[in-house]
């Protein structure tokens, strides 16, 4: 069997650089080397591309620093960058590596701007290189939380009230509190992994949270806080997508699913399949497939919901087109509950993307 030349792209300039590195390391370790010639491609925090062996060296050099947000400094991220332009050119990227192995497929394992927001996908489309996960438009729409919620509402899903604030534009704290009521969730509009997110219980915390979130982008989303159980559903497929088992996330060290609860050891407990009524399970899986289709996602995406403890209604929060991809991340956990090991899960994603692009996987 001819090996598939698979480029795994990770890192990037967003605040989710460290999470991307951890995911990529797990994915590369799990990929069957009898099936794939893996070409690691690291993107530094300053945007340089490190291909092949130097990309693998980037993982090994920085993995121990990736256990917390901002753990890798800009200087550390740039340490392996070379001055020779040909070592990180688009031409070499297209060919695959310096030995000239042309890339068959790209597996992007990155989160946040420039990798998950359609920019990378647009570049790959222009180069004619197929890739796993959603296309340019779906990726861009899913990255913007407000636009995603507009689509979700039009598809019949329930959403929490919200307000958009733009950098360098005036806002009135009293009017915000009157409309949304405290506590208020503050989120950068185009970032994931709970980076820059905070929960404000007072006017002072609201002001501080807005200032913090605006450091991560020009637009932020203020959202009504819905107290309830956090449920997430991964959806796999293309023309006929199917929902995987529902996962419930129970934070252990925070009052909600923030960055610490997501990534610190013992930060949260995941229950898969979630212990919920069958009627609720069917409904949330139906909603997840609905938003997956409405946005135009492909291969895999994970939709997050809150099950309101007061009225038992399901509120859609957001959808992630490149979910966390360590073996213990939420989507792989759901796949495992449906009978797919982590390597099998990766194989299914890769074979689906190759089939969609007319490539024979045998």
170-194 pLDDT, tens digit per residue, is 999 999 999 999 999 998 887 654 5
Confidence of residue 99 (pLDDT cuts 50, 70, 90): low
Q: Regarding predicted confidence, which is higher, 204 or 93?
A: 204
CA angle 334, 162, 218 (to 5 degrees): 90
Q: What is the pLDDT of residue 362?
A: 45
Mean pLDDT (whole number) for 143-169: 94
Average pLDDT, the chain: 88
Residue 338's CB: how many other CB atoms inside 10 A? 15
Peptide bond into 229 cis (omega under 30): no
pLDDT value of position 193: 47
Question: Across residues 301-322, what is the average pLDDT?
Answer: 94
Q: What is the pLDDT of residues 108-140, one digit of tens each?
A: 998 888 899 999 999 999 989 999 999 999 999
pLDDT at 95 over 60: no
pLDDT at residue 150 in the model:
96
Average pLDDT of span 210-216:
88
Burial tier of 358 (Cβ tally within 10 Å: 0-12, 13-18, 19+): exposed
* Domains identified in the chain and CATH numbers: 4-131 (3.40.50.20), 142-159+227-343 (3.30.470.20), 162-224 (3.30.1490.20)
Out of 146-155, 197-206, 324-333, pick the least confident.
324-333
**Is a pLDDT exceeding 90 seen at residue 282?**
yes
Between 341 and 15, the higher pLDDT residue: 341
> Which of 50, 44, 42, 39 is CA-nearest to residue 7?
39
């Amino acid at each position: 069997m001819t090996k598939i030349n698979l480029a795994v792209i990770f890192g990037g300039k967003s605040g989710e650089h460290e999470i991307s590195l951890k995911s990529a390391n797990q994915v590369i370790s799990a990929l069957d080397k009898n099936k794939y010639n893996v070409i690691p491609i690291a993107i530094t925090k300053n945007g340089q591309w490190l291909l092949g062996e130097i990309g693998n060296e980037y993982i090994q050099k920085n993995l121990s620093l990736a256990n917390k947000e901002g753990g890798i400094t800009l200087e550390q991220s740039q340490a392996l960058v070379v001055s020779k332009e040909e070592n990180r050119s688009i031409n070499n990227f297209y060919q695959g590596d310096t030995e000239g192995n042309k890339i068959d497929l790209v597996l992007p394992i990155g989160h946040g701007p420039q990798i998950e927001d359609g920019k990378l996908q647009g570049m790959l489309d222009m180069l004619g290189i197929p890739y796993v996960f959603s296309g340019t438009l779906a990726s861009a729409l899913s990255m913007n939380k407000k636009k995603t919620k507009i689509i979700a509402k039009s598809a019949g899903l329930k959403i929490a009230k919200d307000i958009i604030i733009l950098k360098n534009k005036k806002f009135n704290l009293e009017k915000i509190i009157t409309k949304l009521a405290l506590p208020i969730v503050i989120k950068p509009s185009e970032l994931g992994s709970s980076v820059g997110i905070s929960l404000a219980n007072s006017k002072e915390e609201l002001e501080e949270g807005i200032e913090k979130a605006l450091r991560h982008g020009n637009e932020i989303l203020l959202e009504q806080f819905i107290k309830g159980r956090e449920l997430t559903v991964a959806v796999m497929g293309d023309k006929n997508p199917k929902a995987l088992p529902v996962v419930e996330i129970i934070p252990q060290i925070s009052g909600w699913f923030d960055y610490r609860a997501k990534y610190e050891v013992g930060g949260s407990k995941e229950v898969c399949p979630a212990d919920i009524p069958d009627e609720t399970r069917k409904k949330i899986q139906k909603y997840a497939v609905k938003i997956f289709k409405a946005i135009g996602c492909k291969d895999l995406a994970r939709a997050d919901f809150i099950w309101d403890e007061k009225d038992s209604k399901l509120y859609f929060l957001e959808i992630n087109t490149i979910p966390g991809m360590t073996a213990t991340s939420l989507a792989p956990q759901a796949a495992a509950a449906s009978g797919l090991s982590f390597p099998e899960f990766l194989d299914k994603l890769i074979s689906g993307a190759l089939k969609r692009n007319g490539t024979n996987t045998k």
